[in-house]
Amino acid sequence: MIKRAAAAAVGGVVAVGAAPVVLSAMGFTGAGIAASSLAAKMMSAAAIANGGGVAAGSLVATLQSAGAAGLSLSSKALLGFAGSSFAAWMGRSKEADPSFPPAGPSGGDSQDGNAPTDKPPASQNCSEKDEK
């Protein structure tokens, strides 16, 4: 449990810390959109789709704002929560859950002690003719 909490904390910190680096690498910089970058291609596609301008509130506009001014406190909190959740999910235990019985003839899947099969049991009320 402590391992999972530590993974969540690290995941949140990494997510918030990596966001400015990723934005800058994409071309969303403090000085504007970098030429010949992924951000420039995104801006071009958005402008073509909107008839010549980038719509306010669009993905490109939001990323440009975050690249130029940094992330707001609420954005950092949301990103930290998402990173923590993802890291906690990835850091979960790979061991079998003790609340479930083991599969197979020795435990849980079959009442008669036989190994479970992929086929459902035949109905008592139908003949072979009905099954075809």
Select the more confidently predicted residue: 116 or 19: 19
Query: Given a cut of 60, is residue 131 above it in pLDDT?
Result: no
pLDDT value at position 5? 85
- Among 11-15, 61-65, 73-77, 89-93, the minimum mean pLDDT is found in 89-93
Mean pLDDT across 77-98: 80
H helix or E strand, kind and range, residue 67: helix 59-69
Count of other CB atoms within 10 angstroms of residue 37: 16
pTM over 0.85: no
- Among 5-14, 87-96, 119-128, the minimum mean pLDDT is found in 119-128
Mean pLDDT across 97-109: 57
Whether the CB-CB separation of 39 and 60 falls below 8 Å is answered with: yes
pLDDT value at position 97? 55
Which are the contacts of 20, defined by CB distance < 8 A and separation ≥ 6? 67, 70, 71
pLDDT value at position 6? 86
- The C-alpha atoms of residue 92 and residue 8 are separated, in whole angstroms, by 10
